[in-house]
Structure 1
Amino acid sequence: MPAGVSWTSYLKMFAASLLAMCAGAEVVHRYYRPDLTIPEIPPKPGELKTELLGLKELQREPQDPTLPRTL
């Protein structure tokens, strides 16, 4: 008896948690729709461009060292 409960209760809780985990993963993948395609030719070094939108906004603003930083 793991954790002081009967095997039937343990297996029921294990099955319920496994089902909930799989259902949650399915919901997340349906919501975000990841691109799972594999390109024929991988990009060359330096060719793959990714953008960090928060960083892009910070770089756009002029930075004056005399002004206090705000969030």
Structure 2
Amino acid sequence: MPGGVPWSAYLKMLSSSLLAMCAGAQVVHWYYRPDLTIPEIPPKPGELKTELLGLKERRHEPHVSQQ
């Protein structure tokens, strides 16, 4: 009985916390779409470019309202 909590409640909280953590990590990876490939030759200093691919695809032209 960790912390004065019954084992059943403790295991429910532990499993729900683990599930929420894994789901959050998955959502972040879907949104940002990181490039997880490992290059053969490491880039020289200043050559590494990082972009948010998910954000780049969703970018729209601003909608201007006509009043």
Letter of the 1:3 partner, please give it.
G
User: Gaps spanning 5+ residues in structure 2: where?
Assistant: 51-67
Aligned length: 50
Per-residue Cα deviation, 1:15-51 (whole angstroms, up to 9, x for no partner)? 000000000000000000001111111123454467x
What are the residue-to-residue correspondences of 1:26-45 with 2, within 5 Å?
Answer: 26-45=26-45
TM-score when normalising by structure 2: 0.64
What are the residue-to-residue correspondences of 1:1-71 with 2, within 5 Å?
Answer: 1-48=1-48
RCO higher in structure (CA 8 A, sep ≥6):
2
User: Gaps spanning 5+ residues in structure 1: where?
Assistant: 51-71
Q: CA RMSD in A?
A: 1.7
Q: Which is higher, the Rg of structure 1 or of structure 2? A: 1
Between the aligned partners of 1:17 and 1:2, the Cα distance in structure 2 is 16
Displaced runs of 4+ in structure 1, greater than 3 A? 45-50
